[in-house]
């Protein structure tokens, strides 16, 4: 599994559904560089079980992300048509109607591959035929990308394990606190708490207060 932290986020251009109902041809995260932070997350598949709980949870907290200048973007290996249909389906019927942030269609699996969250890989069999070994879906990868387009945080969960939206917000707050104050964030740091200076004296001062 690749560690992308500290590196430029892989660039892509793909079809996506935006605003819950509009299919666009050339969606890219590059539109946010210099303007917004990005939470870019992968999920295994549309019309499944854990995935809608995560996506709806991100939508429920979308104002909190927007207040922090963060764009939330989801992606799976489904087509843009599958995304669109799922977005038109009521929640009680297993859909995600009401979700407005973009969902990227990675039907070629190239984006998942570049972010190294694809649950399998292409290979050639003994007959020389190109085959896919594994599951042609993405793990639950999540990448926090700063305004310069650099990955600052990543997590990857196995498919049965849903993520915490509150923890994602905490990481956004920690990154922005560090950028604004130059102080680092200790274990279990929360917005409103003090940070610490990255020196032995700073650590001793912090531990003395806590």
Whether the per-residue pLDDT at 158 is higher than 60: the answer is yes
- Sign (positive or negative) of CA dihedral 5, 165, 78, 66: negative
Q: Return mean pLDDT, the chain.
A: 93
Domain locations in the chain?
A: 14-161, 164-210
| Alpha carbons 21 and 100: distance in angstroms, whole number | 8
Q: Note the pTM of the prediction, 2 decimals.
A: 0.92
* pLDDT tens figures, 55-110: 999 999 999 999 999 999 999 999 999 999 999 999 999 999 999 999 999 999 99
Helix and strand numbers (H, E) in the chain are 6, 9
DSSP string, the chain: ----TTSBPPP--EEEEETTTEEEEEE-GGGGTTT-EEEEEE-S-TT-SHHHHHHHHHHHTHHHHHHTTEEEEEEESS-HHHHHHHHHS-GGGT--TT--S-EEE-TTSHHHHHTT-EEEEEEE-TTS-EEEEEEEEE-EEEEEE-TTSBEEEEEEE-TT-PPPHHHHHHHHHHHHHHHHH--B--TT--TTS--B-SSHHHHHHHHHH-
Which fold, 14-161?
Glutaredoxin (3.40.30)
**Which residues carry out catalysis?**
51
* pLDDT tens figures, 133-148: 889 999 999 999 999 9
In the prediction, which pLDDT does 134 show?
87
Q: Which residues pair with 73 in a beta bridge?
A: 40
- Sign (positive or negative) of CA dihedral 80, 70, 145, 160: negative
* pLDDT tens figures, 186-204: 999 999 998 988 765 655 5
- Strands in the chain per DSSP E: 14-18, 22-27, 37-42, 70-76, 103-105, 118-124, 130-138, 140-145, 151-157
């Amino acid at each position: 599994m690749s560690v992308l932290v500290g590196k430029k986020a892989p660039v892509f251009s793909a079809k996506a559904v935006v605003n819950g109902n509009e299919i666009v041809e050339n969606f890219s995260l590059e539109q946010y560089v210099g303007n917004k932070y990005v939470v870019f997350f992968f999920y295994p598949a549309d019309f499944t079980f854990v995935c809608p709980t995560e996506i709806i949870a991100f939508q429920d907290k979308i104002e909190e992300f927007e207040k922090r200048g963060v764009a939330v973007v989801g992606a799976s290996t489904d087509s843009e048509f599958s995304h669109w249909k799922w977005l038109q389906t009521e929640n009680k019927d297993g859909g995600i109607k009401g979700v407005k942030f973009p969902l990227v269609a990675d039907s070629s699996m190239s984006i998942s591959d570049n972010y190294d969250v694809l649950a399998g890989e292409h290979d050639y069999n003994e007959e020389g035929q190109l085959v896919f070994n594994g599951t042609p879906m993405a793990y639950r990868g999540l990448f926090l990308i700063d305004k310069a387009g650099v990955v600052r945080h990543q997590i990857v969960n196995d498919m049965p394990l849903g993520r915490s939206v509150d923890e994602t917000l905490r990481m956004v707050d920690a990154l922005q606190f560090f950028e604004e104050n130059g102080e680092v964030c200790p274990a279990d740091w929360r917005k409103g708490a003090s940070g610490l200076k990255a020196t032995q004296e700073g650590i001793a001062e912090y531990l003395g207060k806590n």
